[in-house]
Structure 1
Amino acid sequence: MPPERGLAIGALAERTGLAVSAIRYYEAQGLITADRNAGGQRRFARAAIRRLSFVMIAQQFGVSLAEIRALLSELPGNRTPTPADWTRISLRFRQQIDQRIATLERLRDDLDGCIGCGCLSLPKCRLYNPDDRAHAKGSGPRYLMGDSAASVLTSDAQS
C-alpha cells in the first residue's frame, strides 16, 4: 500500500469506534501494521478495520491478546484476507470457544460446593482439590499461595 493511501489513524478510529490510543496500542502489540507517509503519519490498510473488529470480538470472549495475535498471524500480510482466510481463522477460534464453553459448563456444574469457600483446600472441593490433595503441602489456600495442582499431585505420588 503506498503510504499516501490508506486510512489515517483518526479515520480508522472513527470506522472501528476505538480510541486512537487503543489503535496505537494494538499496533504496538503487533495486531495491525501501518505504513508512514512522507510526513510520518500512520496510514493503515482497509484490512485493519476487519482485524480490529476481530480483536474487539475476541476480547469480548475473554481471548488474550497473545491468542489473538497467534490467530491473526495466520492471515496474509501482503494482501487483503479472503473469505476463505477468515473461515480458516474462525474454525480455530470456534475450537477455542468450544473449549471455553466446556470449561464454563464444568465450573457451573461444580460451583455449588465452592461458592463462599475461598480456601481451595477443603477435602470436599471437587473443583480444585479432589480428595484434599492440596493438604499434603500444608494448611491454608495452597493454590492461592503459589502451589500448583501439578506440584500437589507430584507430592502425592511420592508419598
Structure 2
Amino acid sequence: MRTITLSNGKAVEVECLSCALTNGYIEPDGGVVVETEYFHAHQDVAYPIKGLIILASKRHIKCFDELTAEERMDYINILSKIRGAQRKVLGIEHVYYFYNEDTTHHFHTWMVPRYEWMYKFGRSVESVRPVLPHTKNESNNEENMKEVMEAISTLAEELNK
C-alpha cells in the first residue's frame, strides 16, 4: 500500500491508484468523464488543470503491446472521441499525450491541455514538468476547482450523449 495525495488534499491508501479509480473504490473529482468496456476516463486526481484527462485501462497491464486487438481499437476510438470533445466544448487547441511503462500504476495515458498561461514555463514538452507542481501548489483554490469541475461536467455531458 502507498499513500497518494489527491488534488483536493485528501490522502488515500491504495496498492494501485488506477485500479482503485477504474473499479470505483476512489471517486475522482467530478466523477467519471466517460467509460467503455475496456477504459475509464477521469480528470487527473493530482493536478487541477481544466480538461487534463487520464484514460486508464480497466485491466491491470503496464504496456501498450499488452492490449488485446479489441482494447487497442477501443483505446484509439475513445482517445479520439475525448480529444474531439476537448476541442469542441472546452476550446482546447493543443494537447500533450503522455504514456510511460515504468509507472507505479497501470496502463494509462495523460491528455494534458496546453493553455496560454503555460507558456511562461516554456514552449516545448519540457515545460509540462514545472506546470504540474505549479498547478498542484498554486491552482488548488476554489475558483480554479470550480472551473475544473465545470469542465468535467461539460466533457462528460458531451461524451455520454
Q: If the length of structure 1 is used for normalisation, what is the TM-score?
A: 0.25
More helix by share: 1
Which structure shows the higher strand fraction? 2
Structure with the bigger RCO (C-alpha within 8 Å, sep 6+) is 2
TM-score (norm 2): 0.25
